């Protein structure tokens, strides 16, 4: 039977830190704060590891102190839940919700062609950021992971600890919300007084 101590946790944290930081960034909106929260996640994991070691040495220790997974396949979703919990705690401490800008420093690596291509262009980046701010955390998060990590539905499911069907549903809804919001923003921009003024001035 696999034990938590057989998992190389420092290596796992290093391996997963990239996408976990993106998740935190999408939830918090500030890269510096997201980095601080990730360090809190690291400390929490190491504390759990130390608690697990103590339990192994002393069976009388409270076994509720450690929740480390023993299955390597469950490491990613477990770390994801820990990160989300710390992001929630961050907002509680701040007593406010930061204005997220999850795409500001995001390198898009997806080669997938589709309706979102133009949304990721440099010209639409500012509008995209504003639109993403109005999406829910889960929708903003899954869009960012899909188009920055270039993961398949199965990979998203494995990392987030949800089913492939749930990934499909969440992505479909997120795309619809994003597309509708962008269209609405574009219409508002087209009909704004400043744009009318510019049109009149060119006549």
Residue 42: predicted pLDDT: 96
Residues 12 and 82 in one domain: yes
Q: What's the distance, Cα to Cα, between the start and end of the chain in Å?
A: 78
In terms of pLDDT, which residue wins out, 201 or 39?
A: 39
Please check whether residues 85 and 123 belong to one and the same domain: no
Last residue of one domain, picked from the residues 71, 98, 125: 98
Contact 106, 144 (CB under 8 A): yes
| In a domain? residue 30 | yes
Q: Is 182 inside a domain boundary?
A: yes
CA-to-CA distance for 30 and 11, rounded, in angstroms?
A: 25
- 199 pLDDT band, cuts 50/70/90, is very low
Residues 66, 114: one domain? no
pLDDT digits (tens, 9 = 90+) for 164-189: 999 999 999 999 988 888 777 666 66
Segments forming the whole domain that contains residue 55: 1-98
DSSP 117: T
38 contacts 17 by C-beta, under 8 angstroms? yes
pLDDT at 100 over 50: no
Q: Which of 98, 124, 159 is the last residue of a domain?
A: 98
- For residue 183, what pLDDT is reported? 79
Minimum mean pLDDT range among 110-114, 127-131, 165-169: 110-114
Q: At which of 42, 70, 98 does a domain end? A: 98
- Name the burial class of residue 83, with classes exposed (0-12), middle (13-18) and buried (19+) by CB atoms within 10 angstroms of its CB: buried
Residue 10 CA, distance from chain mean position: 21
- Count of CA atoms in the C-beta half-sphere (13 A) of 166: 11
Q: Considering the domain boundaries, does residue 104 fall inside one?
A: no
Task: Name the band, by pLDDT with cuts 50, 70 and 90, for residue 125.
Answer: low
The pLDDT value given to residue 161:
95
Widest Cα–Cα separation across the chain: 84
């Amino acid at each position: 039977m696999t034990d938590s101590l057989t998992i190389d946790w420092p290596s796992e944290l290093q391996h997963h830190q990239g996408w976990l930081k993106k998740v935190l960034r999408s939830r918090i909106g500030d890269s510096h704060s997201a980095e601080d929260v990730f360090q809190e996640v690291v400390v929490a994991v190491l504390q759990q590891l130390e608690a697990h070691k103590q339990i192994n040495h002393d069976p009388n220790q409270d076994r509720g102190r450690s929740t480390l997974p023993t299955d390597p396949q469950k490491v990613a979703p477990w770390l994801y839940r820990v990160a989300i919990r710390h992001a929630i705690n961050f907002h509680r401490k701040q007593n406010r919700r930061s204005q997220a800008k999850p795409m500001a420093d995001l390198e898009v690596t997806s080669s997938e062609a589709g309706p979102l291509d133009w949304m990721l262009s440099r010209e639409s980046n500012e509008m995209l950021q504003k639109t993403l701010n109005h999406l829910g955390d889960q929708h903003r998060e899954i869009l960012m992971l899909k188009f920055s990590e270039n993961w398949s539905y199965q990979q998203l499911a494995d990392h987030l600890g949800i089913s492939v069907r749930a990934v499909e549903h969440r992505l479909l809804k997120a795309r619809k919300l994003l597309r509708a919001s962008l269209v609405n923003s574009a219409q508002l921009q087209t009909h704004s007084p400043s744009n009318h003024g510019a049109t009149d001035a060119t006549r």
